[in-house]
Amino acid sequence: MKYRNIYFLGIGGIGMSAIARYCRYKGHVVSGYDRTPSELTHELESEGMEIHYDDRPDLIPPDKDDTLVIYTPAIPHELGEMRFVTENGYKVIKRSRALGEIAEGQRCLAVAGTHGKTTTSTLLAHIFKESGEGCSAFLGGISKNYGTNLLVSDNNVIVAEADEFDRSFLQLHPETAVITAMDADHLDIYSDLGHVRQAFRDFASQVSGTVITKPGLDITGRDTRAEILRYSFREECDFYASNLSKDESGHFTFDLNWPGGTIRSCRCGIPGWVNVENSIAAAAIALTYGLDPEKVRHAIGTYMGVKRRFDFHVNRPGCTYIDDYAHHPKEIAAAISSIRGIFPGRKLTAIFQPHLYTRTRDFAGEFAQALSHVDKLILLDIYPAREEPIPGVTSQIIYDKVQAPEKILMKKEEVLDYMKNEHPDVLVTFGAGDIDRLTGPLTEMLEKR
């Protein structure tokens, strides 16, 4: 990027902050705006970036010819700063375009899919770093191994989480890509499942080397010039697990079968069957690239996961607390299935904060079906993010359909007082909004018992 100043509108977003960190690493002067302070924005400030939280066009670098503005689609077009840069001749691009420009001319290894991509891409980056090969990685969460959402390297390998929201992933032209799932989501963008799947096929058409997908996903040779390989939890295909065993903490050991042979006794560093599947996906890219199988096996075992992805905060006899970013019905169902597999027979309490009015409207029945598999549900109000309310769309439309033995509807602000008198056996918090603000207080409360 030829500009001295890089200014970010929505700098505190997880994807935006990774690019901001990369630009800072490359020597640019980085500053930006976000609506609210967060732990992440405080970290960016401590790294030397100037951030403000009021709509202040006067704080934008005045030299428009030497300033690039990068914005997230979550920024409203009526924001004063957005109007100012578009009306005054600044170069303005979306986050996805910025990532695409960074990846151009490099060996891009991408992880796409309506769920599983953050865990899988972060594990892939960890495999490259642990193997000694190295990579630059733009992650959709905070790696627990490295405490950041950005890894940097001097080589020309980039690991990217390829986000389907707003068709962002169509800015990437990967050498190798995994597609984990093609479920209906972001219907405010795509309108229906057919358009979601077409976008993934369009993404596959841009892959030059290898596309790795699950059996049953509708990606064929008509869609891409790339080689197509398949991976699965344990269905026999190009990459799959066999000889699975689980210890008392929920960690799986398995043999990883691939076209080059069998990697024996892989132990997944984080618990749950779904993370075996994610490990196979990440390993498939690494092995296709040519990394040493033994180094892949070692890295799978040392992977610590991502903050807010099946993230254990308390785990002792009689009290377990897990926080998870799941905000789509299939993600929630998979997480509940994994928890049930790790802790059979224990009472499971879930606190869920729906994310977006449109997603709640489009998937109320599916959310209710997934959440009916917990023993007790505490359902919170919808987190609106970028959206305005939709008449008749509230958490009540999920609540009315839930068949869990116990259920209660409350505001997020009421949760901590309510939990003072509760003694959950296994507790999980679900959601992509600001439910993470409860994680610290809940952990502290449960650890004192």
Q: Which helix (H) or strand (E) holds 227?
A: strand 227-232
**Quick one: tokens of 238?**
């190009």
Same domain assignment for residues 117 and 252: yes
Give the span between the Cα atoms of 175 and 278, in whole angstroms: 20
Task: From residue 93, give the alpha-carbon distance in Å to each of 9, 55, 69, 131, 360.
Answer: 10, 19, 6, 35, 30
Same domain assignment for residues 245 and 184: yes
Q: Which helix (H) or strand (E) holds 16?
A: helix 14-25
Mean pLDDT of 361-370: 96
Same domain assignment for residues 34 and 135: no
pLDDT score of 187 more than 80: no
CATH code, 327:
3.90.190.20
Same domain assignment for residues 281 and 172: yes
pLDDT of residue 401: 97
pLDDT score of 21 more than 90: yes
pLDDT of residue 167: 86
Residues of the chain with pLDDT > 70, as a percent, come to 99
Residues 6+ apart with CB under 8 A from 252: 241, 244, 245, 246, 267, 268, 271, 272, 273, 275, 276
Instruction: For residue 216, give its domain range.
Output: 104-302
Give the span between the Cα atoms of 189 and 196, in whole angstroms: 9
Task: From residue 319, give the alpha-carbon distance in Å to each of 10, 45, 339, 439.
Answer: 37, 36, 13, 15
pLDDT score of 377 more than 90: yes
Mean pLDDT of 357-369: 96
Give the span between the Cα atoms of 272 and 282, in whole angstroms: 16
Quote the pTM value: 0.85
Same domain assignment for residues 276 and 295: yes
pLDDT score of 449 more than 80: no
Q: Which of 282, 302, 322 is the last residue of a domain?
A: 302
Same domain assignment for residues 363 and 439: yes
Same domain assignment for residues 355 and 259: no
CATH code, 18:
3.40.50.720
CATH code, 219:
3.40.1190.10
Tell me the per-residue pLDDT of 48-73, one tens digit each, with 9 for 90 and over: 999 999 999 999 999 999 999 999 98
Residues 6+ apart with CB under 8 A from 234: 240, 241, 242, 244
Mean pLDDT of 359-382: 97
Residue 166's pLDDT band (cuts 50, 70, 90):
confident
The dihedrals phi and psi of 125, each to the nearest 5 degrees, come to -60, -40
pLDDT of residue 200: 95
Q: Which of 72, 95, 118 is the last residue of a domain?
A: 95
Residue 290's pLDDT band (cuts 50, 70, 90):
very high
Per DSSP, what are the bridge partners of residue 196?
A: none
Same domain assignment for residues 231 and 284: yes
pLDDT of residue 214: 94
Residue 147 has a CB neighbour count (10 Å cut-off) of 9
**Quick one: tokens of 435?**
């439910």
Residue 193's pLDDT band (cuts 50, 70, 90):
confident
pLDDT of residue 159: 98
Residue 31's pLDDT band (cuts 50, 70, 90):
very high
pLDDT score of 81 more than 90: yes
Domain count, the chain: 3
Same domain assignment for residues 338 and 376: yes
Tell me the per-residue pLDDT of 109-126, one tens digit each, with 9 for 90 and over: 999 998 889 999 999 999
pLDDT of residue 396: 98
Same domain assignment for residues 152 and 283: yes
Residues of the chain with pLDDT > 90, as a percent, come to 85
Q: Which of 302, 335, 360 is the last residue of a domain?
A: 302
pLDDT score of 435 more than 80: yes
**Quick one: tokens of 24?**
């800072």
Give the span between the Cα atoms of 367 and 7, in whole angstroms: 38
Q: Are 266 and 297 in contact (CB under 8 A)?
A: yes
Residue 104's pLDDT band (cuts 50, 70, 90):
very high
Give the span between the Cα atoms of 442 and 425, in whole angstroms: 13
Same domain assignment for residues 276 and 186: yes
pLDDT of residue 62: 96
pLDDT of residue 70: 98
Give the span between the Cα atoms of 98 and 139, in whole angstroms: 14
pLDDT of residue 278: 96
b vs e for 308-333, b when ≥16 Cβ sit within 10 Å of the residue's Cβ?
A: bbbbebbeeeeebbbbbbbbbbbbbb
Mean pLDDT of 220-244: 96
Mean pLDDT of 306-334: 92
Same domain assignment for residues 61 and 172: no
**Quick one: tokens of 424?**
């959950």
Give the span between the Cα atoms of 121 and 213, in whole angstroms: 14
Per DSSP, what are the bridge partners of residue 378?
A: 351, 408
Mean pLDDT of 323-327: 93
Mean pLDDT over the full length of the chain: 94
Mean pLDDT of 144-161: 96
Q: Identify the weakest region by mean pLDDT among 190-194, 215-219, 421-425, 437-441.
A: 190-194
Give the span between the Cα atoms of 118 and 300, in whole angstroms: 15
pLDDT score of 8 more than 70: yes
Which residue would you say has higher pLDDT here, 192 or 243? 243
